Amino acid sequence: MLDLEAEKALVAARAVNEIQAGMLVGLGTGSTSACAIRLLGARVAAGLQIEATATSLATERLARALNINLRSFEDISIVDLTIDGADQIDANLRAIKGGGGALFREKIVAAASTRTIIIADSSKLAPVLGVGQSLPLEVLPFAAAFVERCLREAGLAVSRRREPKGTLAVTDQQNYLFDVDFGAIHDPLQLATWLASIPGVIEHGLFLSEINELFIADKGQVRVIVKNGNPPLDSPRLPS
Ligand SMILES: O=C(CO)[C@H](O)[C@H](O)COP(=O)(O)O
């Protein structure tokens, strides 16, 4: 049987080895990222000097508890290296993120990063995105009913994310999270374009261009997949 926790620790350790003194590091959100943050905390305790910025308030709390030197992302335009997890990822480094509810900040920090590494246990690699995995959307509460209608009229199954006690879950920006079942997503770019066209959808969990490398556990080893032929953009470009 696969030990997914051991796999998370394995890929996290490999990614944290990429961090060098003086870097500004983006810290992801979720249990795999938390493994990496704890390992980074140990390196910092041993004398490594870096600065970091967090993709969620939960990550910020963890990093602070480990005495990692944090900077607010508000003042940052470029990050050297971001290490984050994913809910599902394909071999072309297109991913679904947002299971932990932090997709909006995660996407911004990844877009600002010179290098974004996704770390993942072996269960996360999928031949086609969306199979057995819903896609999280961050939705403005003001637009919740309208966005839900748009999705349902398109024939989609929509679930508003709730806390264990039944109240609606809210993001760090106080927005709602919708989990939408699209089934197999054969054309993620077309889907991303459609979702971006719905007013009130603040962000979706499809990461199609932000990821540079994947460190994934594979039979007890770390397999590295690097995006080729597609160098990272410094920042989104104006269409010509
Ligand atoms: O996108 C995320 C949070 O918004 C996480 O990276 C994703 O949900 C994976 O989490 P985990 O490492 O716990 O499986």
> Is 165 annotated as belonging to a binding site?
no
Q: Do residues 124 and 37 make contact, with C-beta atoms less than 8 angstroms apart? A: no
- Over residues 102-114, the mean pLDDT reads 98
Q: Is residue 230 scored above 80 in pLDDT?
A: no
The order of strands in the sheet holding 201-204 is 157-160, 176-181, 135-139, 201-204
Whether ipTM > 0.85 holds is yes
Of all atoms in ligand 1, which is nearest to the CA of residue 8?
Answer: 12
Q: Is residue 226 scored above 70 in pLDDT?
A: yes
> Is 84 annotated as belonging to a binding site?
yes
Predicted confidence at residue 239, as pLDDT, reads: 73
Among 87, 175, 203, which is best to mutate for testing ligand 1, by the most ligand atoms less than 8 A from CB?
A: 87
pLDDT band at 232 (very low <50, low <70, confident <90, very high): very low
Given the residues 7, 60, 106, 138, select the one marked as catalytic. 106
Contacts of 161 (CB under 8 A, 6+ apart): 101, 136, 168, 169, 176, 177, 178, 179
Q: Is 106 a catalytic residue?
A: yes
Which tens digits make up the pLDDT trace of 180-214? 999 999 999 999 999 999 999 999 999 999 999 99
- Over residues 55-63, the mean pLDDT reads 98
Tell me how far the alpha carbon of residue 100 lies from the centroid of ligand 1, in angstroms.
Answer: 5
Tell me what percent of the residues of the chain surpass a pLDDT of 70: 95
Number of C-beta neighbours around residue 2 at 10 A: 12
Ligand 1 surroundings by CB, under 6 angstroms: 28-33, 84-87, 97-103, 106
> Is 181 annotated as belonging to a binding site?
no
The domains located in the chain, with CATH, are: 4-125+208-219 (3.40.50.1360), 135-197 (3.30.70.260)
